[in-house]
């Protein structure tokens, strides 16, 4: 099937347990503030009658649920305040045809300068009004056409979130890639998991671990997380047995493809006769997307933000007739309006007195990176050199493989791989061979052995265009080698192509590292330039035979010698193709 009709279609991919709702027997929806409470009452009645209720509540519904804020919505929403379908049942899964789509580059209309000006005004007011935290967000925009469900599948692969959802309602589609649980009700217990604290992922394994450790120990991020956890804990007191409220896994750092996020989990036992709707009305919206004190933060959000949030920062989820309910906090969420041919994505962060405008702006951009990645299935790859029955730099290969597996959350059976390599060594005791190992995300691997054949020449060419040093696949050896293949096609006569980055810095060859001799010293570019940390390169650095140095493209004429190195072929002195 393809999701291209206006018939409601709701898919919840919550914690690997998909639920699909179609053909509602009734739709409960409104765009009027004064009707929100009645809609929630109708939803309650449907649950008591034995039906499932699924859909969303927009952020602006808070003006109906908290009358002290006033009934006037500061920025009129462009979608219903509440939309719930009433369903007799749900499906676990269904097949679908993969359609095509086109999405333009995402644009942030707020400049760094205007963001900084708003940020400074907020800090002034926060100090005057004794506000501890305001969650300020800004929208990204893009044009969109085609199959929104196909885009959802791509974004889901990019983000790998635990609380993703796709909702097709009329001419709008909601693609939520949220990593954040709002609340989960099950067996008279409630779990909430506020998420506050973010840092972008590193490109290499080493950089990635350094950033994770930084977030774990960051005073600012821990303070943000602690404040929201305290707020939500206090909100729970009115609907739970106070002595049962407990915080578990505080300051837990979770890994996603583009960011690390800090979370804390709170669990409690509900008071008797508390329903899913009661919980929604008490906690909405989640404190992690508003601030502290919550009501004042909401008032200043309305003052500083220029657009309605709509379902972004509201709640998306489902409720069952047996009392279970799961809702996410719709962050990392795309709203597509097919009538207008446009898409919008909100991104924000918590502002406190410890915040820095430049860091907060970077965080907003980092959170939007999920939109830009085009992650395709790939496998980890290692190519070993085998000479007379001995695998070259074996330990360096195994270490690199394990590090990349940790980075991408791949499973690795190190023992089995080592055992098979030993069998190969025993079998190929003479000559030079090339072992190719590929491993998928579940740990299944393939290994083959081929004789090492020398090419006719070792002439190389300089790439015609740069690589982008922020491409993570430059730092990990995988089967995703499109970037290398494109450069190889530019000069098929060359043994290999020497690459360089957007700053004009030499990086590597497509199948090996580069070493240059300058003033009698051997240098290789540092990893940060955008290259794979080759195993043979690592060995030579440890032995002090080569040194790291940034080498600019316009310095190549100063090089006495240029070498191609990898563990399969060792050292090779290369020459430029004639005419270069």
Taking only the tens place, the pLDDT of each residue in 557-576 is 999 999 999 999 999 999 99
pLDDT tens-digit map of 260-314: 999 999 999 999 999 999 999 999 999 999 999 999 999 999 999 999 999 999 9
**Predicted confidence (pLDDT) at residue 140 exceeds the cutoff of 90:** yes
Average pLDDT over residues 411-419: 96
Q: Tokens 């409470």: give the residue.
A: 37
Say what the pTM is.
0.85
Q: What is the mean pLDDT of the chain?
A: 93
Burial of 371 (0-12, 13-18, 19+ CB in 10 A): buried
pLDDT of amino acid 3? 37
Looking at residue 579, its pLDDT comes to 61
d(CA 94, CA 556): 57
The answer on pLDDT for 2 being more than 60 is: no
Q: What is the pLDDT of residues 224-263, one digit of tens each?
A: 899 899 999 999 999 999 899 999 999 999 999 888 999 9
Residues in CB range of 181: below 8 A, 6 or more apart: 162, 163, 191, 192, 193, 326, 327, 328, 329
pLDDT grade for 6, boundaries at 50, 70 and 90: low
How would you label 180-195 residue by residue, b for 16+ Cβ within 10 Å and e otherwise?
A: bbbbbbeeeebebbbb
* Mean pLDDT confidence for 311-340: 96
Q: Is residue 23 a contact partner of residue 87, using CB atoms and an 8 Å limit?
A: yes
Strand order in the sheet with 513-518: 547-548, 521-524, 513-518, 561-566, 570-573
Q: What is the pLDDT of residue 109?
A: 83
Q: How many residues does the chain have?
A: 580
Full 3-state SS string of 513-558: EEEEEECCEEEECCHHHCCCCCHHHHHHHHCCCCEECCCEHHHHHH
Q: Does residue 220 have a pLDDT over 60? A: yes
What is residue 382's predicted lDDT score, i.e. its pLDDT? Answer: 97
């Amino acid at each position: 099937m393809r999701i291209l009709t206006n018939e409601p279609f709701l898919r919840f991919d919550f914690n690997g347990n998909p639920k699909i709702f179609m053909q509602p027997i009734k739709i409960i929806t409104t765009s009027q503030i004064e009707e929100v409470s009645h809609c929630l009452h109708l939803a309650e009645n449907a649950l008591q009658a034995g039906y499932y209720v699924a859909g969303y509540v927009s952020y602006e519904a808070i003006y109906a649920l908290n009358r002290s804020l006033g009934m006037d919505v500061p920025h009129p929403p462009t979608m219903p305040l509440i939309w719930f379908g009433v369903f007799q049942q749900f499906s676990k899964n269904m097949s679908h045809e993969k359609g095509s789509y086109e999405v333009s580059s995402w644009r942030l209309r707020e400049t760094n300068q205007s963001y900084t000006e708003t940020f400074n005004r907020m800090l002034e007011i926060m100090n005057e009004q004794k506000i501890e935290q305001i969650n300020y967000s800004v929208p990204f925009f893009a044009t969109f056409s085609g199959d929104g469900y196909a885009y959802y599948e791509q974004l889901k692969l990019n983000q790998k979130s635990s609380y993703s959802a796709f909702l097709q309602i009329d001419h709008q589609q909601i693609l939520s890639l949220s990593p954040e649980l709002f609340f989960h009700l099950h067996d008279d217990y409630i779990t909430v998991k506020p998420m506050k604290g973010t840092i972008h992922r590193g490109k290499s394994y080493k950089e990635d671990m350094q950033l994770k450790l930084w977030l774990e120990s960051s005073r600012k991020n821990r303070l943000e997380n602690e404040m929201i956890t305290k707020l939500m804990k206090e909100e729970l007191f009115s609907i739970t047995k106070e002595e049962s409220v407990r915080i578990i896994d505080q300051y837990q750092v979770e890994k996603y493809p583009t960011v690390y996020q800090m979370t804390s989990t709170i669990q409690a036992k509900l008071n008797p006769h508390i329903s899913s709707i009661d919980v929604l009305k008490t906690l909405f919206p989640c404190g992690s997307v508003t601030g502290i004190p919550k009501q004042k933060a909401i008032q200043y959000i309305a003052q500083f933000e220029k657009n309605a949030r709509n379902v972004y920062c509201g709640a998306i989820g489902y409720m069952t007739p047996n009392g279970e309910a799961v809702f996410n906090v719709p962050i990392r969420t795309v709203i597509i309006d097919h009538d207008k041919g446009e898409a919008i994505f909100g991104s924000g962060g918590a502002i406190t007195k410890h915040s820095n405008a430049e860091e907060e702006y970077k965080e907003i951009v980092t959170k939007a990176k999920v939109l830009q990645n085009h992650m395709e299935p790939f496998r980890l790859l290692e190519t070993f050199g085998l000479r007379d029955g001995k695998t070259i730099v074996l330990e360096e290969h195994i270490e690199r493989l394990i590090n990349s597996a940790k980075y991408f959350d791949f499973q690795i059976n190190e023992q089995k791989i080592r055992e098979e390599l030993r069998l190969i060594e025993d079998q190929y005791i003479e000559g030079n061979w090339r072992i190719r190992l590929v491993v998928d995300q579940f740990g299944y691997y393939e290994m083959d052995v081929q004789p090492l054949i020398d090419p006719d020449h070792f002439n190389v060419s300089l790439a015609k265009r740069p690589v982008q040093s922020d491409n993570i696949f430059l730092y990990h050896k995988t089967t995703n080698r499109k970037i290398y293949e494109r450069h190889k096609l530019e000069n098929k006569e060359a043994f290999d192509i020497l690459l360089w980055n957007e700053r004009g810095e030499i990086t590597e060859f497509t199948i090996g590292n580069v070493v240059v001799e300058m003033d009698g010293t051997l240098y290789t570019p540092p990893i940060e330039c955008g290259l794979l940390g080759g195993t043979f390169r690592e060995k030579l650095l440890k032995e002090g035979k080569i040194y790291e140095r940034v080498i600019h493209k316009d310095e190549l004429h100063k090089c006495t010698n240029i070498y191609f190195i990898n563990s399969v072929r060792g050292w090779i002195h290369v020459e430029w193709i004639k005419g270069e």
